[in-house]
Amino acid sequence: MIPEITIQVLWNRLLSVVEEQAQTLVRTAFSTAAREAGDISAGVFDIAGRMLAQAVTGTPGHINSMARSVVHFLEAFPAETLRDGDILITNDPWKGTGHLFDLTVVTPIFLDGRAVALFASTTHVVDIGGLGVSAEGRQIYHEGLYIPLMHLARQGVINEDLLNIVRANVREPVQVVGDIYALIACNEMGGKRLTAMMREFALPDLHELGEQIITRSRRAMADVIAKLPQGSWSTAMTIDGFEAPITLAATLTIAGDRVLVDYTGTSGLSGYAINCPLCYTDAYTAFGVKAALAPWIPNNTGTLDAVIVTAPENTIVNAPHPAAVYARSVIGHMLPDVVYGCLDQAMPETVPAEGTSSLWNLTLVAGHGLTDTGGSATRAYTVTTFHSGGAGARPTQDGLSATPFPSGVRNVPVEITEAITPLVVWRKELRANSGGAGRTRGGLGQHMEIASRDGAFGIQARFERADYPARGRAGGGPGALGKLSLGTGAALRTKGLQRIPAGDRLVVEMPGGGGRGAAFARDPALVSRDVLFGLIDHAAAEAEYGVILHADGSPDLAATASRRG
């Protein structure tokens, strides 16, 4: 029996192990997605495939779907058949994290000849072949190299045949293979730190510690859920979609010690690559529930088991093989907003307004067949630079600006993009007046302008909130719509590959988050501050908030009271 104080020490030690695992991946990765944005996941699992701990560094879509994926590896390769030095890999969208661009690597860890744990990690690679970083695929076969559950290494010997196949099928072989080795290295580091911990505390295995972690986490979630209002609430949200608008509908039920979310009523499959496998739907739904109800409880199998997600097959949130799924984040990142639409009915003054939610990542490309159709090709490159619009207003605080909720990835510094490509970012600033008006204001989007020093370039767009804005809650206003255009004025579509001619600029205006509460209830001093900081202009202060300002920018309280009636 492990003493209580020792369990706490071991838990904290385990967290340090998985965080060092994740940081090893970040520091050794080749792609900007991992190295700069932290678009990864890392965690430790018991020998039954249950996630015990995850690194803080990472995204919910990666972490929560990876938490379920290790079981698929063990079904294909039972623990008793694995040997020291074996490494497993896949990018199966339905058994991994939702699309081919995410490679998941699982490494069994041995202590004194016995398998005692598994470390798993995921990263988003820059390219996997096929159509590339495109939402225009029509089947999974268009989207690149499909790696089934298989050995990446056997007893320490790397599967060079697999790596050669990867090199032959991707546009950036150095980056992609480099990231595979980074995944290997991070799991290896986690294993070293874990076995050192086990020897130090004389642990023959992780069985008792794992049971304590999972049981306590599950019990903590049950205690929280049991105190909530019991019942069912439904909501729906319309988003842009690709060929037609999409309805995301959900019914959330709080019953006993579980939260059930059912997506019956959601739109059917898209003909393009914005479909979402159920594993990714599960991941972001569970994150949305946990973030609202119990963010302080550790995230592991025990916690995740408290949220049950269902969706009819052949809906856009439960896309079966061989649907195209590359841009599944377009749908998945919206799901916490749908969950919050239900929770807002059950627990008013608890959840934020809708935000931009789906990332406004700029995937910029150049090369023959993409931006050049004949003659000599310009320098070929593919780069994804992570950026985001505004988050929704919170019950007692404004929404965060240029913040990627719910994904949690970091923005990529413009200097990084400029250093590895011929691109120049001429402008990057907060977009004034883009946050929805309210007692608490929605977060602002960004305004960016980008050009190339080396001819034409293209953007693989996959953006949302260009036709249907982030809605406010409790009387708050919507966030501004997003826009994509050329510097010369022509409008661009917000999905699909488009060309920016040499000498022109790409102009990106990212959406804002919705506001919360009546705008006329906002503190005039906060409105004055927003004008001073350039977050809104004088016209918006008066028209949307009813605040009249003196010449020095301070609020004229008498005139404001009259204006607000």
Q: What is the pLDDT of residues 95-104, one digit of tens each?
A: 999 999 999 9
Q: What is the dihedral angle through the alpha carbons of 52, 55, 61, 64, rounded to the nearest 10 degrees? A: 10
- The number of domains in the chain is 4
Single-letter amino acid code for the residue at 79? A
Whether 459 is covered by a domain: the verdict is: yes
> Do both 366 and 455 map to the same domain?
yes
First to last CA, the chain: 68
> Do both 74 and 166 map to the same domain?
yes
Of the candidate ranges 337-341, 364-368, 388-392, the one whose mean pLDDT is the lowest? 364-368
> Do both 342 and 472 map to the same domain?
no
Q: How much of the chain, in percent, has pLDDT values that exceed 70? A: 99
Give pLDDT tens digits for 473-526.
999 999 999 999 999 999 999 999 999 999 999 999 999 999 999 999 999 999
Range of the domain at 261: 219-349
Q: How confident is the model at residue 235 (pLDDT cuts 50, 70, 90)?
A: very high
> Do both 135 and 9 map to the same domain?
yes
The answer to whether 371 and 423 are in contact (CB under 8 A) is no
* CA-CA-CA-CA torsion sign (46, 52, 57, 61): positive
> Do both 547 and 501 map to the same domain?
no
The answer to whether 89 and 104 are in contact (CB under 8 A) is yes
Is residue 73 classed as helix, strand or coil in its secondary structure? helix
pLDDT at 1 over 90: no
Rounded Cα gap, residues 329 and 407, in angstroms: 9
**Which of 170, 205, 240 finishes a domain?**
205
Q: Which residue has the tokens 């004034």?
A: 432
> Do both 196 and 319 map to the same domain?
no
Q: Is 373 exposed, middle or buried (0-12, 13-18, 19+ CB in 10 A)?
A: exposed
Whether 214 is covered by a domain: the verdict is: no
Give pLDDT tens digits for 50-70.
999 999 988 999 999 999 999
CA distances (Å), 498 to each of 143, 219, 328, 362, 534, in order? 18, 51, 20, 12, 32
- What local confidence, expressed as pLDDT, does residue 374 receive? 55
Q: What is the dihedral angle through the alpha carbons of 466, 470, 471, 472, rounded to the nearest 10 degrees? A: -140
Whether 211 is covered by a domain: the verdict is: no
Q: Is 279 exposed, middle or buried (0-12, 13-18, 19+ CB in 10 A)?
A: buried
Q: Provide the CA 55 distance to its chain's centre, in angstroms.
A: 15
Q: In 10 A of CB 377, how many CB atoms?
A: 15
Rounded Cα gap, residues 403 and 387, in angstroms: 8
Rounded Cα gap, residues 434 and 448, in angstroms: 14
**Which of 349, 382, 400 finishes a domain?**
349
**Beta strands in 432-487, from DSSP E residues, in sequence order:** 446-452, 457-462, 483-486
> Do both 369 and 395 map to the same domain?
yes
Q: How much of the chain, in percent, has pLDDT values that exceed 90? A: 92
The answer to whether 389 and 360 are in contact (CB under 8 A) is yes
Rounded Cα gap, residues 159 and 174, in angstroms: 17
**Beta strands in 102-167, from DSSP E residues, in sequence order:** 102-111, 114-124, 150-154, 157-158
Tokens linked to 486: 């050329």
pLDDT at 376 over 80: no
- Which residues make Cβ contacts (< 8 Å) with residue 226, sequence separation at least 6? 256, 257
**Beta strands in 81-222, from DSSP E residues, in sequence order:** 87-90, 102-111, 114-124, 150-154, 157-158
**Which of 171, 205, 239 finishes a domain?**
205
Single-letter amino acid code for the residue at 214? I
Whether 132 is covered by a domain: the verdict is: yes
Whether 212 is covered by a domain: the verdict is: no
> Do both 319 and 403 map to the same domain?
no
Shortest CA distance to 310 belongs to which of 268, 357, 250? 250
The reported pTM is 0.95
Whether 565 is covered by a domain: the verdict is: yes
> Do both 157 and 252 map to the same domain?
no
> Do both 341 and 368 map to the same domain?
no
> Do both 386 and 495 map to the same domain?
yes
Whether 43 is covered by a domain: the verdict is: yes
> Do both 197 and 135 map to the same domain?
yes
Whether 330 is covered by a domain: the verdict is: yes
Give pLDDT tens digits for 401-435.
999 999 999 888 999 999 999 999 999 999 999 99
